[in-house]
Amino acid sequence: MRCEPLFATGVPTSNLQVDLYVANVTDLYGADIKYSFDPNIVQVVDADPFTPGVQIQPLAGFLSPDLVVRRDANNVTGTIQYALTQPTLLRRSTVRAP
């Protein structure tokens, strides 16, 4: 994983955007990403005020958002969790019984 920008600076009460990327991975069909931050320094801004809790906004293009399990942040504990899976198509197969 990598974070862009690596170091973010700003003035108090201003909004900053920090993007997290998964890199150098092939055949990724699901992820459960946990990230921590110091809630005394930064707070996550709710991306979806119509959903209870504080939600993050996933980047477009990170898998297909077919089944997002979690995308929440906790500004008290300083944690972010983003979990999703991208179901794959089952291939047709034949099983023969003896």
pTM of the predicted model as reported, rounded to 2 decimal places: 0.75
- Which pLDDT does position 46 carry in this prediction? 95
Q: pLDDT, tens digit, for every residue of 55-78? A: 998 876 666 666 778 899 999 999
Higher pLDDT, 1 or 65: 1
- Which pLDDT does position 26 carry in this prediction? 80
Cα-based distances in Å from 79 to 24, 27, 61? 24, 27, 23
